[in-house]
Amino acid sequence: MAIREIRNEQDEILRKKSREVEVVDDKIRELLNDMVDTMHKYNGVGLAAVQVGVLKRVIVIDLYDDKGIYKLVNPVIVKEKGEQECEEGCLSFPNKYAQVVRPMEVTVEALDENGKKIKVKGKGLLAQALSHEIDHLNGVLFVDKMLPGTMQYVEPEK
CA–CA distance, 28 with 133 (Å, rounded to integer): 17
**Which CATH fold would you assign to the domain 12-153?**
Peptide Deformylase (3.90.45)
The pLDDT of residue 1 = 73
Please tell me the predicted confidence (pLDDT) of residue 32. Answer: 98
Low-confidence ranges of the chain (pLDDT < 50): none
Catalytic residue chosen out of the listed positions 88, 133, 155, 157: 133
Q: What is the pLDDT of residue 145?
A: 97
Examine the residue annotation and report whether 133 is marked as an active-site residue of this protein: yes
pLDDT tens-digit map of 43-71: 999 999 999 999 999 999 999 999 999 99
pLDDT at 155: 87
